[in-house]
Structure 1
Amino acid sequence: MNLSNVANGSSTKSGVSLRIALFIKAKKMMENKASSFPFDETVLASFNVIVQCVEHFEEDLDSAIQMVIKGDVVRLEMPAYSILMLPALKAASLKWHPHAILSGFQWQAMQCDDVTQQAEIQTFSQAKGRSNQSDIKSVSYVDFNSQQKCFRFCQWIINLMNRTLVTETQSHFWFRAPFKARMVAVNFSHTDEADKLTSRIVLTQGTYQAPAKSLVQTQRLFFIFTGNNQSELQQALVRLTQSLPRVSVLSLMADNLNAYATLGADQSLAVVLQATSAAALELEIDSVFKAIPKVIADEGRYQTPAGSYFFSKPLTDKGLTFVYPGVGTVFDKMFSQLHEYFPDLYNRLESEGDLRTILQSDKIYQDIELNYVLPDKVAALQQEDLKQPIRIRKNSADEKGMTLAEQAISGVGSSYLLTQLLTQNFQIQPRFSMGYSMGEVSMWACLGVWEDPYEMIDDTFSTSLFSSMISGHLHAVRKAWGLKHKTESHQVESHQADINTQLEHDIGHDDEHHDNVCWGSFLLRKSAVEINSLIDDYPRVYLAINQGDTCIISGCDQSCRTLIKALGTRGLSSSGVSAMHTGPAMLIHQETYDFYLRPLNDFTERAFSHNEDTYSTHVKAKNNIDPTQITFISSQLEQGVHYKHNPFCGKKIAKSVADNLCHPLDFPKHVNNARRIGASLFLEVGADRQNTILINRINESEQVEKQCDAVAISSRAKDDVCELLNAIAQLISHRVPLSIQPLQLGLAILIENQDEMLDKAKSSEALLETQQ
């Protein structure tokens, strides 16, 4: 069939409701999740499988669809992949879980855009209207040949299987609206002198999801060696050196991790080695081997740039403290890779609530749509002799930034995700918890004290606390400064100037002489003592947060800048607007208390004891987190809150949070108080590593760094998996009890796949020799 002969119509009838199961298999033996079908392929021998090689993409795909509609099983052979197609009901009856579902297909030669739009409507209608068009990811490719179309079609099947959204700028978890399937509309178009040829394909996620990727592999080696003294550690390193030339490094690593899981957790010292290759591992072994005697003699610690760790005085889990960061730490494209390594975790979180909203993914992963066009189609580029397609930006990313409410939700959401990862997957149980600013909200929400932290999402967006009282129009600030209400002022001013002129007026004048609030926040490398010596002369400037050797001041922008100049320093300006931890925030203390007065989980149930003929109290733990075993440390309380000594009280928690957010924050005092209560090993549970840096600096200034340590599991400057493994390595060397099962399971699957590929390669070589 010639595409040019198909005019104003489609060879696939729009009235037909498509539900075709797709299974994809890579042709080459490669380390790929789509390298084989998720069922025993020998079963296919019982079917009449029609094999069709793809030469003209739309034409051959349509032909295959017609055969499947009649009940046939079709195998499409494409350049890099094979795709098995069969009716979705037949796949369900066989209990085969498809990689994706083909639910819509139209291909036409058209003369006008109206017909193009009509064809698009028909395609979505053919997809049985399972989602609104706004829920369907739409991508367009211009002037692609048949082979390129095949590749893109296969890639989107794999993306659905991996639950990964891949664009030209990023790759991350494919977020979706609650109870909605992931769907993508893949559009191809080609324009020549005679016709405009278009095809549209709608794909829906299948029930099969790719297994977790291995956290460790040949380029990310991870070994654990334990002992009770210097000799035992060094002997273990020697044995590894001797084994390296004889045994596969993956097998060595698997044996090592299995041995540690069985016996190694009981020994007092641990060395963790990380390396990017077997050769690099030998260098790590040599470096650590030589360092061990001195580190033990000095009762110190040793680490390498590759991420190997050894602590001669492990802190253990007695002082393990989860530290939750405040707003402003979330960053662009954070945790982009984690879902590939912990798919079950993401599935569970999606079933609990709207993960897209929890992480504010629309802002964190601001997507950039790209179209593919040939250079001669873009006259504006004025470029010659370009043969490759050029990527043209279709929709630019939102550059407005995040509101305080969005940052608050995303911050708590990212901490919740990491809390679940640590406590569920690695089975790490904290003894204490604390938070930096809004981190105290995360502390209560993430560790199972509040009954339903998800309901705070809508409340946070609807309350005036974060939208207009301490952010936005800053009504609390206006009230504290005796200024007119913003809406009042705007009604008068709107008659005198347009919005742009008024904005320039706001920015260009000092707040002390006008009813316009121009708020500023600045990070200074000055101590609180130095700032407090001058701040009384600036009544509209507040020392919001003391961080030790740095501080954050907030208030009238011009007054802040004047104070900074008087201090003889420079200030790093923050783009966010928040009056949290300032004098005006005290005006909304009651509103903050009311907002955080939340129902608590029911931690006890009465159970009859037959032995004692009495009722006893039992604790209910949710998601393996038992908050009754954790001491919660607030910045405004001298003593920690522990259920055993004082059952949780919603009113006391609400007051603690309100006091924390409305009063200035003295973080060194908070850290010192946590240490006094028993905290020693601080694990930052949230985006980035700002608290880790601050706590280590505070501990160094107090000269207690040998008795304390701070560890981060996220960094905007490093790979997600590498940073996570670095954190796990440090915790192991500190002898914190945890499960290494996430490392073992992925590695076992990786070794199994490699052995299978090796067997196939040997079989192919043997067959080739026989034929020759």
Structure 2
Amino acid sequence: MSNQSTSAMSKSEPTNVASVKGMRIALKLIANDAASLTQAANGIYGTNACLHANNNAFAAIKPCSLAETLGATAIPLEIDVSSLDGTSNTATNSNMSFRDYLAQAIERIEHQQTVLLSHPALPYRLLMMPAIVAAKHRCHPHAYLTGMGEGHELSDAVQQALTQAKRSHISPTQIDATHCTSYKDKFFELIQLIGHLATRSLPTENNSENNSGNNSKGKQYWFSEMHQSRVASFNFIEAEMQHAVVFVQGTELAQASSLLDNTRLFFPISASTVSGIQQQLTQLQSQLNAITADMTNPSASVTTSPTANTSAGSATNVNHSKLLALMLSNLHAFDHQAGKAAVIMANSIESACTEIEAMLATISSSTISSSTNSSTTSESSSSEVEYKTPSGSCLMLTANVPLGANGLCFVYPGVGTVYPQMFSQLPRFFPDLYAQLERDGDVKAMLQADSIYADNAKVTDMSLGELAIAGVGASYILTKVLTEYFNVKPDFAMGYSMGEASMWASLGIWKQPHSMIEATQTSSIFTTDISGRLDCVRKAWQLNQADDIVWNSFVVRATPADIEAVLSQYPRCYLAIIQGDTCVLAGCEDSCKALLKQIGKRGIAANRVTAMHTAPAMLIHCEVAQFYQQALHESQQLEQTAQIKFISAASSQPINVSSLDIATSIADTFCQPLNFTELVNNTRKLGARLFVEIGADRQTTTLIDKIARTSPTVSEPCQAIAVNAKGGDDQTALLKCIAQLISHKAPVSFTCLTHGLANLLTSTLKFEANNHQADATLAPQLEGEQS
């Protein structure tokens, strides 16, 4: 903007904060790449990490050609940095403030004009326009400005702004910018807030610190009440007055982050023969070595990608675009019809090469062993190979039908698998999914967010109903990720205990699974009958409400025969679950301890009050069946799941997909003792080979592997995989699951991976080009300093 224009605006500057006057102002972030990256290269950002161009609040903002076009015709209100930030002796604009520029923008918008607010040292400009103008141009805003207020007290300013925004009844998220003294810092906090609204990530105190590193709080999902928009009050101080501006989320969602990047390498390999796999691995190693050689070439330009890991000891002088391009071309070249597959996963090129060498050595050793023990050296003579590494690389070679070809089974875990902060990373990779879930129901309640994502959260403080709801929610989300984003379609489905309810809710059988959330929280089944005061147990034991019940359950390494031999001596003790080489004993705590002492076994106390799978639960069998008798989807939608065989612990044959049959099956499983060993073996007999646990953590995966190893009645091979694992990050756990599905030849779509990687490659190429241009501009200056 010219100095004349700036001066002209300063003459008409408003003295009071302008009123929004009931209109909604649409806000859209537009990248300011050329200016900001050049400034970054020349050190303008300095050591302030919050102003770095790769901040998480900005990284996912989609490029928008329509917004760029509108921005090109907008009235620019570019800031005179020297005057506003107090770094110049000139008096031009010396009286202008952040409040004044914002008010001036609103004044123009009230005349149906479009304004572009910016600061030359920041990576984004702010396009502002009347909401009706945005709607006319079909430009989806990241946020809306709906109210402003000022006062001597912050509470007064906030209340004024909320009243103007017609949202006096809510408590907005407070964004404290009162510590900011310069225009640049205030404007940065503002565009960061709009970035948080677009990414649906919760702003936290000291955003600059939380978002500059790996602090998980800076990435926490911003849950909202059901069908309610996110609202924030942006608070700052100027002229000894408190100011508040109310912002509401817009209709534009942030771009999904890529599951793959320069620190998460993922290379699927396909071939029709073992030698073909070896050849592909060798070729990949050569390509990676070539990229490494290019990186270490002194004549190569030095760039740092927006995705670079800049922690101590990491290599930052890397041309990441070549690595990302290699991953993308590898994914596109993968032959899904080829008979054999492997996956290389690593966190760096060096690690990937090590993984390749180890896999090649395994294949070579297997082939040599096979040739020694056979009269032929043909491909078919190779030994069976099941190879996995901690990094996630995997290879499955077999002469039999691959496990994932027609025997894929989704397994839904029971109550008690959820853990604090579970899935906290998933929203940024699947923002559209979470937006759809919000339209369908109450995501906050579905995941019991107030408990799961609270500071110092403890799932031990959650009730049985809350654990059940969160468990179903976790399974529901993971099912959507696998089936809708990776197009993984199971041939079978089964559930552990209450996992049967998760199975029907998650796989699109029940029409309104969200409606069961509130019912589960209030139903006496979960609050008082088999949990809480244990009314079923009181009735079975003929106790009154004043009598104490000390209930517990114990996991014990024992056979059912060990327990059943003395169980009749303890009428208040029940063999609730049989699961491989362990059993679950439940009932009166003293009776359970006495039984364990008698058989010489030690039990691990679960310290959870639930009488599921015990005789007293049979007293509410009818109530449970009635509770789970839900309306089903229309037949047309049910046809999409027609290939799935739904297996229940209560039947040796697949369950008919009817409301009554489903409800009866769940009630039978819920109330009767659970023999999980029998359920797994029966599902294997029906044809299941590859079991994928769809839920938080890995409750059933280890159990299924143990059952498979110790069941002489079923000889067919099988393997279990978990989609999630407590203690690791969601991204890596999901990729490891996808890698194993690929190696077992289960049908998997790569669209989700290639789409995210293509977006990341585009932004990385742009970043490197801008950085290269900045280096070229800076080189003569450096040369002059050296002379």
Fold match by TM threshold 0.5: yes
Q: Tell me the SS of whatever aligns to 1:258.
A: helix
Counterparts of residues 217-616 of structure 1 (less than 5 Å): 217-247=261-291, 248-260=322-334, 264-295=335-366, 297-313=382-398, 314-366=402-454, 368=455, 401-484=461-544, 486=545, 489=546, 515-603=547-635
| TM-score normalised according to structure 1 size | 0.81
Equivalent of residue 59 in structure 2, options 33, 36, 54: 33
CA distance in 1, matches of 2:199, 2:414: 32
Equivalent of residue 172 in structure 1, options 190, 204, 220: 220
Give the 3 Å change call, closer, same or farther, for CA 53–579 of structure 1 in structure 2. farther
Give the 3 Å change call, closer, same or farther, for CA 180–271 of structure 1 in structure 2. same
Instruction: Name the aligned partner's letter for residue 659 of structure 2.
Output: G
Give the 3 Å change call, closer, same or farther, for CA 15–84 of structure 1 in structure 2. closer
1:568-616, Cα deviation, whole Å (9 max, x unpaired): 443332243211001110111111122122233332xxxxxxxxxxxxx
Instruction: Name the aligned partner's letter for residue 138 of structure 1.
Output: Q
CA distance in 1, matches of 2:459, 2:506: 30
Equivalent of residue 667 in structure 1, options 668, 676, 686: 676
Cα deviation, residue 42, structure 1 = 6.1
Match of 2:90 in 1: none
Give the 3 Å change call, closer, same or farther, for CA 85–648 of structure 1 in structure 2. closer
Percent identical across equivalent pairs?
A: 39
Q: Tell me the SS of whatever aligns to 2:59.
A: coil
Cα deviation, residue 326, structure 1 = 0.8
Q: Tell me the SS of whatever aligns to 1:71.
A: helix
Cα deviation, residue 532, structure 1 = 2.4
Residues 296-305 or 217-226, more deviating: 296-305
Instruction: Name the aligned partner's letter for residue 173 of structure 2.
Output: K
Cα deviation, residue 437, structure 1 = 0.2
Give the 3 Å change call, closer, same or farther, for CA 196–733 of structure 1 in structure 2. same
Instruction: Name the aligned partner's letter for residue 687 of structure 2.
Output: G
Cα deviation, residue 321, structure 1 = 0.5
1:31-55, Cα deviation, whole Å (9 max, x unpaired): 4526786336465443331212574
RMSD, aligned CA: 2.8
Q: Tell me the SS of whatever aligns to 1:101.
A: strand
Contact 2:78 2:120 in 1 (8 A): no
1:189-235, Cα deviation, whole Å (9 max, x unpaired): 79xxxx98644332211222211111111111111111222211111
Q: Tell me the SS of whatever aligns to 1:414.
A: helix
Q: Tell me the SS of whatever aligns to 2:192.
A: helix
Counterparts of residues 146-157 of structure 1 (less than 5 Å): 146=182, 149-157=186-194
Residues 87-96 or 463-472, more deviating: 87-96
Give the 3 Å change call, closer, same or farther, for CA 139–468 of structure 1 in structure 2. farther
Instruction: Name the aligned partner's letter for residue 97 of structure 2.
Output: D
Instruction: Name the aligned partner's letter for residue 565 of structure 2.
Output: S
Counterparts of residues 3-152 of structure 1 (less than 5 Å): 11-12=16-17, 16-17=21-22, 19-24=24-29, 25=31, 27-28=36-37, 30-31=53-54, 32-33=58-59, 38-39=64-65, 41=68, 44-53=71-80, 55=84, 60-71=97-108, 73-77=115-119, 80-89=122-131, 90-108=133-151, 110=152, 115-129=153-167, 132-134=169-171, 136-140=172-176, 143=179, 145-146=181-182, 149-152=186-189
1:356-382, Cα deviation, whole Å (9 max, x unpaired): 22222222212x4xxxxxxxxxxxxxx
Give the 3 Å change call, closer, same or farther, for CA 154–78 of structure 1 in structure 2. farther
Residues 346-355 or 31-40, more deviating: 31-40
CA distance in 1, matches of 2:600, 2:696: 33
Residues 49-58 or 405-414, more deviating: 49-58
Instruction: Establish whether residue 657 from structure 1 lines up as the match of residue 660 from structure 2.
Output: no
Instruction: Name the aligned partner's letter for residue 235 of structure 1.
Output: Q
Instruction: Establish whether residue 758 from structure 1 lines up as the match of residue 763 from structure 2.
Output: no
Instruction: Establish whether residue 697 from structure 1 lines up as the match of residue 706 from structure 2.
Output: yes
Equivalent of residue 233 in structure 2, options 162, 185, 190: 185
Q: Tell me the SS of whatever aligns to 1:421.
A: helix
Instruction: Name the aligned partner's letter for residue 52 of structure 1.
Output: I
Contact 2:412 2:496 in 1 (8 A): yes
CA distance in 1, matches of 2:536, 2:120: 64
CA distance in 1, matches of 2:631, 2:393: 44
Q: Tell me the SS of whatever aligns to 2:576.
A: strand
Q: Tell me the SS of whatever aligns to 2:700.
A: helix
1:486-529, Cα deviation, whole Å (9 max, x unpaired): 3xx3xxxxxxxxxxxxxxxxxxxxxxxxx111211222233322
- Unaligned stretches of 5+ residues in structure 1: 1-9, 369-395, 490-514, 604-619, 642-646
Residues 344-353 or 334-343, more deviating: 344-353
1:128-161, Cα deviation, whole Å (9 max, x unpaired): 32x7314x32355775544665544333221111
1:425-469, Cα deviation, whole Å (9 max, x unpaired): 111111111100001111222222223222222322232111110
Count of paired positions: 670
Match of 2:374 in 1: none
Contact 2:227 2:438 in 1 (8 A): no
Contact 2:420 2:458 in 1 (8 A): no
Match of 1:211 in 2: 255
CA distance in 1, matches of 2:525, 2:337: 50
Cα deviation, residue 256, structure 1 = 0.8
Residues 273-282 or 78-87, more deviating: 78-87
Give the 3 Å change call, closer, same or farther, for CA 530–419 of structure 1 in structure 2. same
Contact 1:299 1:312 in 2 (8 A): yes
Give the 3 Å change call, closer, same or farther, for CA 575–85 of structure 1 in structure 2. farther
Cα deviation, residue 303, structure 1 = 0.9
Residues 696-705 or 581-590, more deviating: 696-705
Instruction: Name the aligned partner's letter for residue 180 of structure 1.
Output: Q
Cα deviation, residue 690, structure 1 = 0.9
1:533-590, Cα deviation, whole Å (9 max, x unpaired): 3332222111111112222221112222333344444333224321100111011111
CA distance in 1, matches of 2:504, 2:124: 50
Contact 1:67 1:74 in 2 (8 A): no
Give the 3 Å change call, closer, same or farther, for CA 96–303 of structure 1 in structure 2. same
1:741-772, Cα deviation, whole Å (9 max, x unpaired): 11111111111111112222233344456888
Instruction: Name the aligned partner's letter for residue 528 of structure 2.
Output: S
Residues 659-668 or 201-210, more deviating: 201-210
Equivalent of residue 736 in structure 1, options 729, 746, 764: 746
Instruction: Name the aligned partner's letter for residue 47 of structure 1.
Output: A
Give the 3 Å change call, closer, same or farther, for CA 20–666 of structure 1 in structure 2. same
Instruction: Name the aligned partner's letter for residue 556 of structure 1.
Output: C
User: Between Structure 1 and Structure 2, which shows a larger proportion of strand residues?
Assistant: 1
Residues 27-36 or 58-67, more deviating: 27-36
Instruction: Name the aligned partner's letter for residue 343 of structure 1.
Output: P
